[in-house]
Amino acid sequence: MPVDILVGTQWGDEGKGKLIDVLTKDIDMVIRFQGGNNAGHTVEIGDEKYVLHLVPSGIFRPGVACVIGNGLVVDPIGLVSEMRELEERGIDVSAVQLSTRAHLVMPYHKLMDAFNEETKTRDKKIGTTKRGIGPTYADKANRTGIRAVDMLDLAGFERKFREQATAYNDLFSSKDTETVDLDAAWAELKDAAEYLNSMICDTVVTINQAIKAGKNILCEGAQGALLDIDHGTYPFVTSSTTISGGVCGGAGISPRAVRNVYGVMKAYTTRVGEGPFPTELDNAAGEALRQAGGEFGATTGRPRRCGWFDAIISGYSCMVSGVNKLTITKLDVLDDQPELLICTAYELDGETINTVPADPIKLSEVKPIYESMPGWECPTTEVRSYDDLPENARKYLERIEELVDAEIDIVSVGPNRVQTFQK
Catalytic residues, by residue number, are 13, 41
Task: Indicate the pairing of strand 65-68 with strand 96-99.
Answer: parallel
Q: Which is nearer to ligand IMO, 277 or 316 (CB)?
A: 277
Residues 285-314 that bind Mg ion (CB under 5 A): 298
Residue choice 4, 13, 139, 295 for contact with Mg ion (CB under 5 A): 13
Q: Is 332 in the site for ligand GDP (CB under 6 A)?
A: yes
> 330, 368, 380, 393: which one contacts ligand GDP (CB under 6 A)?
330
Tell me, rounded to whole angstroms, the distance of Cα 69 from its chain centroid: 14
Q: How far is the CB of 214 from ligand IMO (least distance, A)?
A: 29
State the DSSP string of 19-87.
Answer: HHHHHGGG-SEEEE-S--TT--EEEEETTEEEEESSS-TTTTSTT-EEEE-TT-EE-HHHHHHHHHHHH
Closest approach of ligand IMO to the CB of residue 63, in Å: 25
* Exposure b/e, 27-56, CB count within 10 A at least 16 = b: bbbbbbbbbbbbbbbbbbeeeeebebbbbb
Judged by CB under 5 A, the stretch of 12-20, 162-170, 196-204, 209-217 that binds Mg ion is: 12-20
d(CA 280, CA 222): 22
Rg, C-alpha atoms of the chain: 21
**Is the Cβ of residue 151 or residue 411 nearer to ligand GDP in the bound state?**
411
Which residues sit opposite 370 in a β-bridge?
A: 343
- Nearest approach in angstroms of CB 38 to ligand IMO is 4
Q: How far is the CB of 358 from ligand GDP (least distance, A)?
A: 25
What minimum distance in Å lies between the beta carbon of 299 and Mg ion? Answer: 7
Q: Which of residues 24-83 bind ligand GDP (CB under 6 A)?
A: 40-42, 44
How many angstroms separate the CA atoms of 336 and 340, rounded? 10
Taking the CA atoms of residue 354, residue 358, residue 360 and residue 366 in that order, the dihedral angle to the nearest 10 degrees is -20
Indicate which single residue of 18, 53, 61, 147 sits in contact with ligand GDP (rule: CB under 6 A): 18
Using CB under 5 A as the binding rule, whether residue 40 contacts Mg ion is answered as yes
- Candidates 403, 394, 392, 236; CA nearest to 309 is 403
Please give the residue ranges that form the binding site for ligand IMO (CB under 6 A): 8, 11-13, 38-41, 126-129, 131, 133-134, 222-224, 227, 238-239, 272-273, 298
C-alpha span between 317 and 329 (Å, rounded):
16
Between residue 211 and residue 270, which ones bind ligand GDP under the rule CB under 6 A?
none
Strand locations in 138-274 (E) = 200-201, 217-220, 258-266, 269-271
The contact pattern for Mg ion, residues 246-285, with x = CB under 5 A and - = no contact, is ----------------------------------------
Distances (CA, A) of 394 to 374, 380, 387: 11, 11, 8
- How far is CA 298 from each of CA 36, 59, 121, 324, 408, rounded to the nearest angstrom? 14, 18, 26, 27, 26
Q: Which is nearer to Mg ion, 299 or 420 (CB)?
A: 299
Interface stretch with Mg ion, choices 5-13, 49-57, 265-273, 391-399 (CB under 5 A): 5-13
| Binding status of residue 14 toward ligand GDP by CB under 6 A | yes
> What is the DSSP code (8-state) at residue 179?
-
Judged by CB under 6 A, does residue 414 bind ligand GDP? yes
Q: Which stretch binds ligand GDP (CB under 6 A): 227-235, 274-282, 315-323, 324-332?
A: 324-332
Binder of residue 44, out of ligand IMO, ligand GDP, Mg ion, none (CB less than 5 to 8 A by kind): ligand GDP
Residues that bind ligand GDP (CB under 6 A): 8, 12-18, 40-42, 44, 294, 298, 329-330, 332-333, 412-415
